Structure 1
Amino acid sequence: MDQILDKYKTIAEPSEGIYKEKGSKFISYAYPVYSEEEIKEHVSALKEKYYDARHHCFAWQLGVDGLRFRANDDGEPSGTAGKPIHGQIKSHELTNILVVVIRYFGGTKLGVPGLIHAYKEATIDAINNTTIVEKTVNDIYAVNFDYLVMNDIMKIVKDESLNIVNQQFDLTCTIEFSLRQSEIDKVIGRFEKIDSVKCEFLRTE
């Protein structure tokens, strides 16, 4: 059986960084993100805030498999901005992250190696100014059961240290819980051995 990829590293909170070279200023922002819509909003807000800057270059990566990413040079020579930004995201083994680097030109051209170095250093500074955290990919499930089997259900909840997000107790009871994807088969299998129990997938966190 293939191993489930359900663990990843990202940043805990937004951060800023800066790098200066020969009068040019590179202001960097890093954000934890979970959708392309979120990414567009951050990029758009920074373009509005730094409307007078010459370049707003960025790179992002989403998902645990590393297959969803984009690098944008925003007018800089090809491969000198978005690629080194994304390179630092990869070398720090991060995902669900956006890094935007805003450049104010200082009058002296830096050349291709200089630009690559500047965008790389600005990205490193933003990443260094936040906390890297490890997270798991969790699914939300609902377990529906008769009140009579409550004790059996709660024993599994306790044994597996399940994170309950919602619960309702009546003649028919429901518990919604968050569960790491690699644990799903084992835990759901335990619940389904109990009479009257129905398990239902709700969503991925």
Structure 2
Amino acid sequence: MAKSPTKELERLEQQLHKGHISERQFKKLRQKTIDDALKQKSATSSPRSKKKGGNNTLKGIGLFLLLVVFGSSYNKNESVSDTKSATQTTKNATQKQCDQIWKDEGYYKVLRSSCTFMEDVDPIYRTESSDRHSQFKEYADRNGCSYNEEKATKISTDTSLVIMEKLRASQEKTGNIQAFCNAETSYFGKVIKKYNIQ
């Protein structure tokens, strides 16, 4: 025996609240349940009820009320779910922003050492004491990022390797790295400014 549309919609709503299905899946399955219920109603309606018309009207009103009740209940739950997902997004964005600090550090190190004209953008470009790790770490601390030296070093190193690969590709393609360096001047300047490297 097939589940009633009401029971199926309740089950889907419970799965959504428990996190077993996403909002997108919920909407899709909810619409499918409603469509199936409508198809089933139209397929099983008897000729007698078609002649009277009253039963179909009552069924239609009942289905409409069902949709209104579940729709309003879903909207209330959706706003709670939106708040939850917005909070989760903020957490993820914060972690992404924290990871970006160490990516920028790796980027800075490679460009500072590889692109000779960057001395115009970075005033202390060639000095021996120009290790800028402390500036990146201070920025991370100011922005509430937890500091894990191993993770920060790994992210910075991985980014450095990616940038070095891009420099190598530029060297192979154009015969020098200057085209890549020229394209990165603007972002390099933003990194200098963002992390207050002076």
TM-score by length of 2: 0.33
When Rg is computed on C-alpha atoms for both structures, the one with the higher figure is 2
* More strand as a share of residues: 1
